[in-house]
Amino acid sequence: MKISGEFEIEVKPLDNYAKAIDGISLGRMSIDKTFTGELSATSQGEMLTALTPVKGSAGYVAIEQVSGSLTDKKGSFVLQHYGMMNSDGQHLTLEVVPESGTGELSGLTGKMNIRIEEGQHFYDFEYEFIN
């Protein structure tokens, strides 16, 4: 199955544990999202970032738990993010953490793509259920 929709996101800085050195900037942030469309859900998570002294070069990882309904099936699941950016472009991977689906979303697997167009956030979610 493949679905698409919109989401709103709010990101807020959190206190860092790790201290950056040698021109690297480390960050830690909270993530709150509201998904609309066939994925009608909210999520909360945390993101860690690393910005290098080179403009446009960065990396991030994040974990967020999504709770709501996916095409009328109710439950929750966890998304794991892995992102890298540099002058050649960006690479972003979001995958459902294995065995993280609960309720009617048990057995969920899949990958999500994020698009930002004219300041609006969109998702494309390709998924299936395995048992």
- Write the pLDDT tens digit of every residue in 10-47: 999 999 999 999 999 999 999 999 999 999 999 999 99
One DSSP character per residue, 17-52 reads SS---TT-EEEEEEEEEEEEESEEEEEEEEEEEEE-
- Asked if pLDDT for residue 64 goes beyond 90, the answer is yes
Domain residue limits, the chain: 2-129
Q: What is the mean pLDDT of residues 53-72?
A: 96
- Asked if pLDDT for residue 49 goes beyond 90, the answer is yes
Q: What is the 8-class DSSP label of residue 15? A: -
Whether the Cβ atoms of residue 76 and residue 89 lie closer than 8 Å to each other: no
Burial letters for 47-80: b for 16+ Cβ neighbours within 10 Å, e otherwise?
bbbbbeeeeeebebebbbbbebbbeeeebbbbbb
pLDDT of residue 110: 98
- Write the pLDDT tens digit of every residue in 116-130: 999 999 999 999 999
- Asked if pLDDT for residue 131 goes beyond 90, the answer is no
Whether the Cβ atoms of residue 16 and residue 27 lie closer than 8 Å to each other: yes
CATH architecture of 2-129: Beta Barrel (2.40)
Mean of the per-residue pLDDT values for the chain?
A: 96
Q: What dihedral do alpha carbons 104, 114, 31, 88 form, nearest 10°?
A: 140
pLDDT of residue 101: 98
Alpha-carbon span 3 to 110, nearest angstrom = 11
- Share of residues in the chain with pLDDT > 70 (%): 100
